[in-house]
Amino acid sequence: MGKTTTTVNIAAALAMNGARVLVIDLDPQGNASTALGIDHHADVPSVYDVLVDGKPLADVVQPVKDVEGLFCAPATIDLAGAEIELVSLVARESRLKRALDSYEQPLDYVLIDCPPSLGLLTVNALVAGAEVMIPIQCEYYALEGLSQLLRNVELVRGHLNPALHISTILLTMYDARTRLAAQVAEEVRTHFADQVLRTSIPRSVRISEAPSYGQTVMTYDPGSSGALSYLEAAREIALRGAGANAHPANPYATQAGPGEGGHPQQSAAPSASPQHFGMVEENR
């Protein structure tokens, strides 16, 4: 839980820090498109056309109003059918990767918002990106749901994308008043010391209101605690990218930070919470 909110707000915050950022909405619900104020009714050219018909990604990408440098490839409802239609297509797991590889506009980051379940759409995201970013909601025992996600990342790494790794974990919906939030945060930081960002995102009504205005919290209420936290988290992500590039021996070295050209960082954001991650759900 928190994938879409994380994707759109981190993307907007990175763009506001000067990066060129593309959000790919891979969820048929189209929540990321909505939150970015992007038209995504049934006739709009979308990620569906890219995945199923091989339309160039550039033909579906739209600029996001109000945020310079931020772009979105929208999802339309027909993407729900893509999960089935992809099964019989050639290179069904790598169609998004191919589309991205031939996208020629300069980009510093690509953030892919994944649907709730692990199907071919999510697999396409995990094949297209090198990095996985996981939002962890500090309201549940998040690590329970995480183990299944980690196994799936391992499977895709082993068979389809050797570069894939979990690079970033963002603690979100953090309520400093509850003991559970502190416990979850501590537990996650213990297990994933290198991946967890120092900044956590507070639970905030402003964050949850913003999408109904077709906005991220970054433009809806730039001075709010939520917006400031996303800016800080984005700054950490940008600094990590820059630092990684300074050390060629480091496994992250092939990814460029903002403004450095080369291959953009591509992150998928599958959910870590049991209620939203398909296979885990079956065990509940």
Site residues (CB under 6 A) for ligand ATP? 1-5, 27, 31, 116, 172-173, 201, 203-204, 207-208, 226, 271, 276
Is 4 an interacting residue with respect to Mg ion (CB under 5 A)? yes
Residue closer to ligand ATP (CB basis): 88 or 284: 284
Considering beta carbons, is residue 20 or 40 the nearer one to ligand ATP? 40
Cα 157 versus chain centre, distance = 18
Q: Vertex 169, ends 232 and 171: CA angle to 5°?
A: 65
Out of ligand ATP, Mg ion, none, what residue 173 binds, judged by CB under 5 to 8 A for its kind, is: ligand ATP
* 31 in contact with Mg ion (CB under 5 A): yes
> Burial of 35 by CB count in 10 Å (0-12 exposed, 13-18 middle, 19+ buried)?
buried
Nearest distance in Å: CB 174, ligand ATP: 8
Task: Tell me the C-alpha distance between 191 and 204, whole Å.
Answer: 26
For 38: left if phi > 0, alpha if psi spans -120 to 50, otherwise beta; the answer is beta
* DSSP tag of 255: S
Kindly tell me which of 45 and 211 has the beta carbon lying closer to Mg ion.
211
Q: Count residues contacting Mg ion (CB under 5 A)? A: 3
CA 195 to chain centre: 15
Shortest distance in whole angstroms from residue 134 CB to ligand ATP: 10
Q: Which residues bind Mg ion (CB under 5 A)?
A: 3-4, 31
